[in-house]
A and B are shown apart, each in its own frame.
Chain A
Amino acid sequence: MDNAIAKPSKKEAFLAPLLKANPLFVLVLGTCPALAVTTTLEQAIGMGILFTVVLALSNVIISALRKFIPEYVRIPSYIVIIATFVTVVKLLAEAFLPELYSSLGVFLSLITVNCIVLGRAEAFAQDNPVLPSLLDGLGNGLGYTIAICIIALFREILGAGTLSFGKTFTFIPQVTIPLLKGDTWDYSMPLLQQPTGAFLVLGIVIALIAVIVNFRAKQAKIKKEEVKE
């Protein structure tokens, strides 16, 4: 049991951040890109993939070097490692996904100062072996991707009224699915595409999750009391 507390299992390291400890919805970290790049679903997916790559790779390197980095210079060392991977990912994106690169713009560089990356380095990678750190990085990256995709779904469907693919990832054919907006009808709310909509959607989604968590906690409590009686 002691061992399990000191070293969380590999499965737990990967699965916990997907829902239970979601970095965006539960811990409310990394809000800047979550608001800025969620106008379309495709952009959010692209950001999520690049973010996951940076997080997983920096977690691996930091955990591999954990015995060599002196404690008092650890934060600058981590930041330099993270910034290096951000530069690598930036150059790769510029070469192979130029549309994604230009639509994400400065937010690609801002992964460097995303609290989640430094947070995982501090909280997990610096005192765990390489493999669990890799899984932790992948899990957190995936959890974050899911979270920003949910926000982007709301904002694109309700705000633009359509769901379009092929604009950011040019290697797939261009498709536009009309949902709330067609040739003759238009029920979309363009406000949600604006910055205001970003704040509003994130706030409401976090509140809804709190409602569900509170409801389930209440149900569990009632069940417990019934068992007691």
Chain B
Amino acid sequence: MSVFVAFVLAILNAMLMDNVVLSRFYGICSFIGVGNRVKSATSMGLAVTFVIVLATVVCWPIYTFLLVPAGIAYFDTVIYILVIASLVQAVALFIRRFSPSLYRGLGIYLPLITTNCAVLGVVQSNTDTGLDFLSSLANGVGTSLGYFLVIFLFACIREKFEGTNMPKAMKGVPIALVTAALLALSFYGLQGII
């Protein structure tokens, strides 16, 4: 039972207290680029969630049972990025086969997940800090849920900017960053609850 409670707390911690975008700064590029439409933000969030969890599940055994016994643990980044790129490709094929409409909806965002630093960041920090499998999984699930939550909230806010009268210089990226700052401030208030 206590294992289960610790698992849930670790997920909550990675999702809210140490949010992936707003306090660890992973995946800002896609956050700023995609997060201006609720629909595309939701699709992107779902796809990234799926890939992060899958990558965590696949990369942890590869590191522990292949790279470390073979003595090439320093090669981890190269292996991870190859695994992530293949996973993204596999997910794209899978989605195209079973749900062509979702595939069309995701469009260009699918291949771009490879270069989303949230995926590599989670996998790399899991093995860098020496987490065990369950903690890694909790970190992966929590991080991806946190990403989904924040990109959705952010897109909802940014849709309201359309047609608002704001200084020309603030339009586009600057106002998005200031919005992110305010969101980060509210998430900062959650720190230290657990």
- A residues contacting B by CB (< 8 A) are 28-33, 35-36, 76, 79-80, 83-84, 86-87, 90-91, 105-106, 109-110, 112-115, 118, 194-200, 202-204, 206-208, 210-211, 214
Structural contact, B23 and A195, CB atoms closer than 8 A: yes
Q: A196-B184, A210-B169 are in contact. Are A202 and B77 (CB under 8 A)?
A: no
Structural contact, B178 and A204, CB atoms closer than 8 A: yes
Cα(A198)–Cα(B178), bound, Å: 10
Q: A32-B26, A32-B27, A195-B23 are in contact. Are A203 and B178 (CB under 8 A)?
A: yes
Cα(A87)–Cα(B76), bound, Å: 8
Encode B142-168 as 1/0 by CB contact (under 8 A) with A. 000000000000000000000000011
Can you name 8 extra interface pairs (CB under 8 A) apart from A200-B177, A207-B167? A29-B29, A32-B28, A36-B24, A79-B114, A80-B82, A110-B124, A118-B115, A199-B178
The 3 lowest CB-CB distance pairs between A and B, nearest first, are A203-B177, A199-B181, A207-B174
Cα(A91)–Cα(B78), bound, Å: 13
A186 to chain B, nearest CB (A): 21
Structural contact, B82 and A76, CB atoms closer than 8 A: yes
Instruction: List the A side residues contacting B23 at CB < 8 Å.
Output: 195
Judged by a CB distance under 8 angstroms, whether B7 is at the interface is no
Q: What are 6 A-B interface contacts by the 8 Å CB criterion?
A: A80-B82, A113-B114, A113-B120, A194-B188, A196-B182, A207-B167
A154 to chain B, nearest CB (A): 13
Structural contact, A83 and B188, CB atoms closer than 8 A: no
Kindly name the residue among B29, B78, B176, B181 whose own CB sees the greatest number of chain A CB atoms within 10 A: B181
Instruction: List the B side residues contacting A86 at CB < 8 Å.
Output: 77
Cα(A200)–Cα(B124), bound, Å: 28
Structural contact, B128 and A106, CB atoms closer than 8 A: yes
Cα(A30)–Cα(B23), bound, Å: 16
Instruction: List the B side residues contacting A87 at CB < 8 Å.
Output: 74-75, 77-78
Judged by a CB distance under 8 angstroms, whether B51 is at the interface is no
B128 to chain A, nearest CB (A): 6
Structural contact, B28 and A206, CB atoms closer than 8 A: no
Structural contact, B32 and A106, CB atoms closer than 8 A: no
Structural contact, B184 and A115, CB atoms closer than 8 A: no
Q: How many residues of B contact A (CB 8 A)?
A: 42
Residue of B nearest to A118 (CB): B115
Cα(A35)–Cα(B24), bound, Å: 9
List B residues 102-130 near A (Cβ within 8 Å). 114-117, 119-121, 124-125, 128
Structural contact, A79 and B184, CB atoms closer than 8 A: no
Judged by a CB distance under 8 angstroms, whether B62 is at the interface is no
Q: A35-B25, A195-B23 are in contact. Are A28 and B81 (CB under 8 A)?
A: no
Cα(A208)–Cα(B25), bound, Å: 23
Structural contact, A113 and B115, CB atoms closer than 8 A: yes
Structural contact, A109 and B77, CB atoms closer than 8 A: yes
Judged by a CB distance under 8 angstroms, whether B87 is at the interface is no
Instruction: List the B side residues contacting A90 at CB < 8 Å.
Output: 74, 77
Cα(A7)–Cα(B120), bound, Å: 35
Cα(A31)–Cα(B116), bound, Å: 12
Instruction: List the A side residues contacting B174 at CB < 8 Å.
Output: 203-204, 206-207, 210
Structural contact, B85 and A79, CB atoms closer than 8 A: yes
Instruction: List the B side residues contacting A83 at CB < 8 Å.
Output: 77-78, 81
Structural contact, A202 and B25, CB atoms closer than 8 A: no
Structural contact, B78 and A84, CB atoms closer than 8 A: yes
Structural contact, B168 and A76, CB atoms closer than 8 A: no
Structural contact, A31 and B32, CB atoms closer than 8 A: yes
Judged by a CB distance under 8 angstroms, whether B68 is at the interface is no
Residue of B nearest to A31 (CB): B28
Structural contact, A106 and B188, CB atoms closer than 8 A: no
A168 to chain B, nearest CB (A): 19
Encode B127-144 as 1/0 by CB contact (under 8 A) with A. 010000000000000000
Instruction: List the B side residues contacting A199 at CB < 8 Å.
Output: 177-178, 180-181, 184
Instruction: List the B side residues contacting A84 at CB < 8 Å.
Output: 78
